[in-house]
Amino acid sequence: MNEDREPAVRDWLPRTAALLVGTLALATAFIAAYVGALHQPTPRDVPVGVVLGDQRAQAVMGALRARTDKIKPIGYDDPRAADDGLTAREVYALLTSGPENGLRLTTASAAAPAAADLVTQVFTQAARQANLPLQVTDEVPVEGTDPRGLVPFYLAVGYVLGGYLASTALGLKTGTAPVSLARAGLRVAALAVYSIVLGVVGATLVGPVLDVWHHDVPAVAAVGALIVLAAAMVASAVQAWLGLLGTGIVILLLVVLGNPGSGGIYAPEFLPGWLRGMHRWNVTGLATDQIKSAVYFDRRSMGWTLTGLVVWALLGILGLITATIFHTHRRGRRAAGARPTGPGEPVTDG
């Protein structure tokens, strides 16, 4: 009896051990990434616009930059370009000369309330030290129903989560790699339909149902569908090439690194250096920025985030198709190698 059991143990033990080790590694990375990124946010180089030639504002900005690296001045040629920079999310605020020989600080808290608060605090103190009155105006405020500006991030996480879970579910049901190009096309079509449905559901929840945003529901639905599709296709491609290991890598990229790397509850400038800038290329970061742009900002601010998500979706589709071709060809070679050979027929090496 024991002899019969031993081979079975030898069969499942290495695989089970590998799964547990992989899970342990993901959990460790999750803790390290989240705690490391978010336990002590340290703002640095938070961009604030200033019009070149505005001597009063430039003087205050220069003196402030000499004392701290929290603020990074971004120069604009004229006031109109500076306003465009604010609505295109290039900067979190603008500093200009104000009435009564004072200063005017125009913020966009919808981009990141924490960044707007920091900028306001820093310039309030600087204006006080320079004995200049400061007028603060929030040009693009967050909705009163989302005072901390968290809904875009959590909605993006939900869309990304839905995308890679759908891909994983299809992979478990029908195999991580489709058996033919026709099946690969069906998988892409199924995930596209699913993406549209989840995009509409998410936009409806944060709009009419939960009453967070009272506008731009169709735009959020369209953006959401693209986010879901990008996450689903990236997951499908990685899983098609790497199988079960691919699922772990997808979780690492989209969740473990993607969520804190997106900035999440903070502006990206508040994150450690190794995560700063990740929001410009990872799916969750692009998704969060895209939702903010769709709801609050000028459509010009959607340029790179829209392009990035489309690129991820197309790369995912390409990865799924190439993996399908590769595995189909390999199965064909194996079948040919296993086929009995007749007289004069060459033996194929599988």
Higher per-residue confidence, 133 vs 39: 133
Residue pair 109/149 in contact by the 8 Å Cβ criterion:
yes
Do 212 and 306 belong to one domain?
yes
Q: Is the pLDDT of residue 261 over 90?
A: no
The answer to whether residue 192 is domain-embedded is yes
Do 115 and 83 belong to one domain?
yes
Average pLDDT over all residues of the chain: 88
The answer to whether residue 286 is domain-embedded is yes
The answer to whether residue 9 is domain-embedded is no
Do 158 and 298 belong to one domain?
yes
Residue pair 195/276 in contact by the 8 Å Cβ criterion:
no
Report the range out of 10-14, 99-103, 130-134, 171-175 with the highest average pLDDT: 130-134
Strand, coil or helix: 48: strand
Q: Is the pLDDT of residue 291 over 60?
A: yes
d(CA 55, CA 51): 9
Do 158 and 278 belong to one domain?
yes
- pLDDT tens digits for range 8-63: 666 667 777 877 888 888 888 878 877 877 777 889 999 999 999 999 999 999 99
The answer to whether residue 20 is domain-embedded is no
pTM, rounded to two decimals:
0.87
Do 117 and 222 belong to one domain?
no
Provide the 8-state DSSP code for 278: G
The answer to whether residue 159 is domain-embedded is yes
pLDDT at residue 280, as a whole number = 83
Do 69 and 100 belong to one domain?
yes
Residue 68 has φ and ψ, to the nearest 5°, of -150, 155
pLDDT at residue 8, as a whole number = 64
Do 104 and 239 belong to one domain?
no
- pLDDT tens digits for range 235-250: 999 999 998 788 889 9
230 Cβ contact partners less than 8 Å away, ≥ 6 residues apart? 163, 283, 286, 287, 309, 310, 312, 313, 316
d(CA 180, CA 170): 15
Q: Is the pLDDT of residue 108 over 60?
A: yes
pLDDT at residue 348, as a whole number = 36
Structure tokens, 85: 């920079």
Do 255 and 162 belong to one domain?
yes
The answer to whether residue 251 is domain-embedded is yes
Number of domains in the chain: 2
pLDDT at residue 35, as a whole number = 83
pLDDT at residue 338, as a whole number = 62
Domain of residue 250 covers 150-334
> What pairing do the DSSP bridges indicate for beta strands 93-97 and 134-138?
unpaired
DSSP string, 58-125: HHHHHHHHHH-SSEEEEEESSHHHHHHHHHTTS-SEEEEE-STT-EEEEE-TTT-HHHHHHHHHHHHH
- pLDDT tens digits for range 48-63: 999 999 999 999 999 9
d(CA 219, CA 221): 5
> What confidence tier does 113 reach under pLDDT thresholds 50, 70, 90?
very high
> What confidence tier does 4 reach under pLDDT thresholds 50, 70, 90?
low
* Least confident segment among 8-12, 125-129, 240-244, 276-280: 8-12
Q: Is the pLDDT of residue 162 over 50?
A: yes
The answer to whether residue 297 is domain-embedded is yes
Segment 316-321 mean pLDDT = 97
Query: What sections of the chain are H helices per DSSP?
Result: 2-38, 55-67, 79-87, 113-129, 151-174, 181-204, 217-242, 244-251, 258-261, 283-296, 303-338
The answer to whether residue 52 is domain-embedded is yes
Q: Is the pLDDT of residue 262 over 90?
A: no
